[in-house]
Amino acid sequence: MISRKKGILSSEFLVPAFGLLVSVLLVEPYYRIVVEPRVEQIELKQRVMSAQGSTAGGNTELRSIYVIIKDTEQKTEIMFAIWSFIILGYKLYALRRERRVFAHDLLRLQPGERIIPEDSLDRHKELRAAIDREPRWRDLLLPECLLAALHRFHATHSIPDAANAVKERAELAADQLDSSLSLVRYIAWAIPAIGFIGTVRGIGLALAFAEDALKGDIAPVIDALGLAFNSTLVALILSMGLMYFMHVVQSQQEAFIIETQTFCRDKLIDVMKIPARDEAVGSVS
């Protein structure tokens, strides 16, 4: 969670880059293989019906999902949505990985055993050695909080200071988790923006074909207005789903931070003890 690796080899760069690549590789072939041929069939059938004097109202295929998502704006919106879902899915996977460490006995305390400042350095070294033996525990929040609390307790001989060390690490991790969602927030804004671009472009095309409509050919105008409305419709639906998924991820992240602080308090802070002689020295000073 508290990643020290930066640059192009960090998960902060690789996951969004991989997610964008996957979304393009999924959506583009799907449009070429499924959507575009299906739309061509529907439009061909509509032209045949128009030539025979039939009205479009009875053709339910014009309300097909393929017709609604056929334009470039809708395709881009879907790509962006899949991109953001991949990023959020990775965030949930990272939280599951963080939570797995709760099941391990990192401190190896016996029932009724207490930790005094003189022992905290040895506990710190033991925990650090255990983390070095388990690469999957590295850069996880819980071990970092435990190490920080043990180090602070040894240095200050103060239980409140040890508790503050846990709180500081947890708050730092919470800020990092929040900032890691900045790209998803941008995508959540960009999807409706793309929809509005499609609306403006569709209305502009409809006005450009107004003269053709006056001559009796209203098909181009209808197609342009379809772009105007469908691009916004798809954008709003995708944005609703994306915002809900992001809300779920944020709730899980906040719950994880609270769980980590609670674990550290119950398993470490509450078993710390200041010897009577240290308390006496502190009171005299």
Query: What pLDDT, on the 0 to 100 scale, is given for residue 284?
Result: 45
> Residue 251: pLDDT above 50?
yes
Which band of pLDDT confidence, cut at 50, 70 and 90, is reported for residue 11? confident
C-alpha span between 274 and 159 (Å, rounded): 8
pLDDT-wise least confident of 17-31, 158-172, 202-216 = 202-216
Cβ neighbours, 10 Å, residue 44: 10
Higher pLDDT, 223 or 146: 146
Task: Give me the pLDDT at residue 108, please.
Answer: 87
d(CA 278, CA 276): 5
∠ CA 167-173-179, rounded to 5°: 135
Buried b (16+ CB within 10 A) or exposed e, 142-158: bbbbbbbbbbbbbeebb
Q: Mean of the per-residue pLDDT values for the chain?
A: 87
**SS3 for 115?**
strand
